[in-house]
Amino acid sequence: MITLALSKGRIFEETLPLLAAAGITVGEDPDKSRKLILPTNQPDVRIVMVRASDVPTYVEHGGADLGVAGRDVLLEHAAGGVGASSGLYQPLDLKIARCRLSVAVREDFDYARAVRQGSRIRVASKYVHLARQHFADKGVHVDLIKLYGSMELAPLTGLADAIVDLVSTGGTLRANHLREVEKIMDISSRLVVNAAALKLQREPIRRLIEAFASALPQD
């Protein structure tokens, strides 16, 4: 049995065509079903539905053999873990769920001036490790505030001066009178594989990786 960990929403939807290229179809829609384990048309392949940020944990500890997770989630997971995530192979950038990790502030906040003056900036984020690293590299002093969602609210309520969050079109920022001031990195989702599973089920996993690779957009 091969178990693939996916999260609901864009990762599930954008992985479906890649699975199809490997001849795998999923019978149920996770948005409609309450099932957390979804069978596929292949009796030896199943999908487990987990929180996006839990995918690396499932794959690292063998709860799933493979998974699809954003670069944001993978880097934050690695930075927060004890030691390196050595049991986690990343053979493929799937180029799906593309966005960027950026710094954003309120429209009326002079970010450049705050940086120039060496002020302490309060930064709210779900990605505290990546945020800390970014500002440390820039030599900017920050106080980090960990949030689990709705980051846009933090500068509007005075909880923080800035946020570090994912941006794709910028529509959510604009709707909340926020401005993107710095791109930290480009993000896309990667296939992650449990190292032990790769040894034990080398052939089926290798075939899956190759089918995924052949279905990726050429660019």
CB of 189 to ligand ATP, least distance (A): 6
Looking at beta carbons only, is 95 or 138 nearer to ligand ATP? 95
Give exposure, 121-151, as e/b (b: 16+ Cβ within 10 Å): bbbbbbbbbbbbebbeeeebebebbebeeeb
Task: List the one residue from 189, 197, 205, 208 that touches ligand ATP (CB under 6 A).
Answer: 189
Stretch that binds ligand ATP, among 78-86, 92-100, 131-139, 206-214 (CB under 6 A): 92-100
What Rg value do the Cα atoms of the chain yield, rounded? 19
Q: Is 7 a residue that touches ligand ATP (CB under 6 A)?
A: yes
Concatenate the DSSP letters of all residues of the chain into one string. -EEEEE-TTHHHHHHHHHHHHTT--BSS-TTT---SEEEBSSTTEEEEE--GGGHHHHHHTTSSSEEEEEHHHHHHHHHHSSS--TTEEEEEEEEEEEEEEEEEEETT--HHHHHHTT--EEEEES-HHHHHHHHHHHT--EEEEE-SS-TTHHHHHTS-SEEEEEESSSHHHHHTTEEEEEEEEEEEEEEEEEHHHHHHTHHHHHHHHHHHHHTS---
CB of 207 to ligand ATP, least distance (A): 26
Task: List the one residue from 75, 88, 99, 162 that touches ligand ATP (CB under 6 A).
Answer: 99
Closest CA relative to residue 88, chosen from 189, 175, 198 = 198
Q: Is 191 a residue that touches ligand ATP (CB under 6 A)?
A: no
Task: List the one residue from 9, 27, 39, 80 that touches ligand ATP (CB under 6 A).
Answer: 9
Looking at beta carbons only, is 119 or 133 nearer to ligand ATP? 133
Task: List the one residue from 19, 38, 92, 97 that touches ligand ATP (CB under 6 A).
Answer: 97
CB of 199 to ligand ATP, least distance (A): 28
Q: Is 11 a residue that touches ligand ATP (CB under 6 A)?
A: yes
Stretch that binds ligand ATP, among 26-34, 38-46, 93-101, 130-138 (CB under 6 A): 93-101
Closest residue to ligand ATP: CB criterion? 70
CB of 64 to ligand ATP, least distance (A): 15
Binders in 26-85 for ligand ATP, by CB under 6 A: 51-53, 70, 72-73
The residues that touch ligand ATP, with contacts defined as CB under 6 A, are: 7, 9-11, 51-53, 70, 72-73, 97-99, 166, 168, 187, 189
